[in-house]
Amino acid sequence: MALSSEMQAQVEQQNATEDNRAANQAASEAKRAKLDMVRMAKEILVENRRTQAAADATNITASAVIGLATELTAFVNS
């Protein structure tokens, strides 16, 4: 039994809404994972700096955190 054009339009609208919701959820999850990697990278760099001798210690920069987070993400995704 075929759907009426009105019912078919409702089904298509519902499918589009569900697809949009799923895409938004996936984007939110990707951002959450990225933020988790940045937090982890920061913690690693802080702990590494804490264990170094004062003469060997370097400042922790945003680029160092982002670089380590990128490396961690690449490792996890491989």
pLDDT digits (tens, 9 = 90+) for 12-43: 999 999 999 999 999 999 999 999 999 999 99
Residue 40's pLDDT is what? 95
Q: Is residue 19 part of a domain?
A: yes
Q: CA geometry: angle at 38 spanning 19 and 47, to 5°?
A: 155
Q: What mean pLDDT comes out for the span 53-74?
A: 90
Q: Is residue 73 part of a domain?
A: yes
Q: Where are the alpha helices (DSSP H) in the chain?
A: 5-51, 62-77
The answer to whether residue 2 is domain-embedded is no
Q: Which residues contact 58 (CB under 8 A, 6 or more apart)?
A: 49
In the chain, how many domains are there? 1
What's the domain range around 31? 7-77
Look at residue 54 in the predicted model and tell me its pLDDT.
81
Mean pLDDT of the chain: 92
Position 20 in a domain: yes
Who wins on pLDDT, 20 or 5? 20
- Residue with token string 């913690």: 43
